[in-house]
Chain A
C-alpha cells in the first residue's frame, strides 16, 4: 500500500535513447511534482501538475516531457538522453498548499 510509487527504481541506458519514468499516488492528492536531485544532493523542481493541469514548468530542456493522464499519475518521458541527465528523479504529491509533500523512493537514472 505504498503511497507514492515510482518505477523503475534504477534505469541504466545509453546516450541517445528515450526512456520513461512512471509515478502513481494513492493518497487522493491533487498535485504531483517531479524533482531532480543532482550529484551534490540538491533538489530542484522540474514540473508540477494540479488535477492534470501543468502549473509549474521550470527551465528544463524540451527533451523532458511530463504527462498526467489523471490526477493520480504523473509520468516523465525523456528523449535523446544525455550524460548530464544522470541523476536521481523524485516524484512527490501533496494536497493543497497547507499540506506537506509525500515523496516516492526515487529513480536513479544513469546514462552511459
Chain B
C-alpha cells in the first residue's frame, strides 16, 4: 500500500528565504503527484500537478520536482512571504485515488 511521508512536519523561516519541502512515497508506480496548500480551517487549494512523465512544474514562485524512480518530490518556494504560511500537503495517485502525506506546517516570519 502506498505510504507518503513529508519532512519536515513543521518549518519556520524568516521572510525572504528560499525553502524546500520534501515528500517521499513508497510505490513509484504513480500516475501523478499533486501539491496542495491548506490554510487553517479552510479547504485544500491545488498548487501544482506533476504527471508521472514530467520532471517538474512551475507556477510563479513555486517549483515542484518529481523523481519517480526514487519516490521523491520537492516543493521549492522562492522568496517566501508571510502569506505563504499554511500547511502544504503532497498527494500521489497510483490508481483511482490520491494518497496524502501528513503535511508540512510552514510559518513565514515577517
- Among A90, A97, A100, A103, the residue within 8 A (CB) of B96 is A97
Taking the complex as formed, is B51 at the interface, i.e. its CB lies under 8 A from any CB of chain A?
Answer: yes
Q: Is the CB of A103 within 8 A of B98?
A: no
Q: A100-B32, A100-B49 in contact; A106/B96 too (CB < 8 A)?
A: no
Query: For residue B103, which residues in chain A have a CB less than 8 angstroms away from its CB?
Result: 41
Q: Are A90 and B44 in contact (CB under 8 A)?
A: yes
Contact A101-B43, Cβ < 8 Å, known A41-B103, A48-B97: no
Least CB distance, B104 to chain A, in whole angstroms: 11
Question: What mask results when residues 9 to 45 of chain B are scored 1 for a CB within 8 Å of chain A, else 0?
Answer: 0000000000000000000000110101010011111
- B102 within 8 Å of A by Cβ? yes
Q: Enumerate chain A residues within 8 angstroms of B43, measured Cβ to Cβ.
A: 90, 103-106
Q: How far is the CA of A106 from the CA of B39 in the complex (A)?
A: 12
Q: Which residue of B has the minimal Cβ distance to A42?
A: B102
**A36-49 interface bits toward B, Cβ cutoff 8 Å, 1 = contact, 0 = none:** 00001111110010
Apart from A41-B102, A99-B49, what are 18 other A-B pairs with CB-CB below 8 Å? A40-B102, A41-B103, A45-B97, A48-B96, A48-B97, A55-B96, A56-B97, A97-B31, A98-B32, A100-B46, A101-B91, A101-B98, A103-B36, A103-B46, A104-B43, A105-B42, A106-B43, A108-B41
23 A-B contacts, Cβ less than 8 Å apart? Answer: A31-B96, A33-B97, A41-B103, A42-B100, A42-B102, A43-B91, A44-B100, A48-B96, A56-B96, A90-B43, A97-B32, A97-B93, A97-B96, A98-B32, A99-B49, A100-B34, A100-B49, A101-B44, A101-B46, A102-B46, A103-B36, A105-B42, A106-B42
- Which residues of B does A touch, CB under 8 Å? 31-32, 34, 36, 38, 41-46, 49, 51, 87, 89, 91, 93, 95-98, 100, 102-103
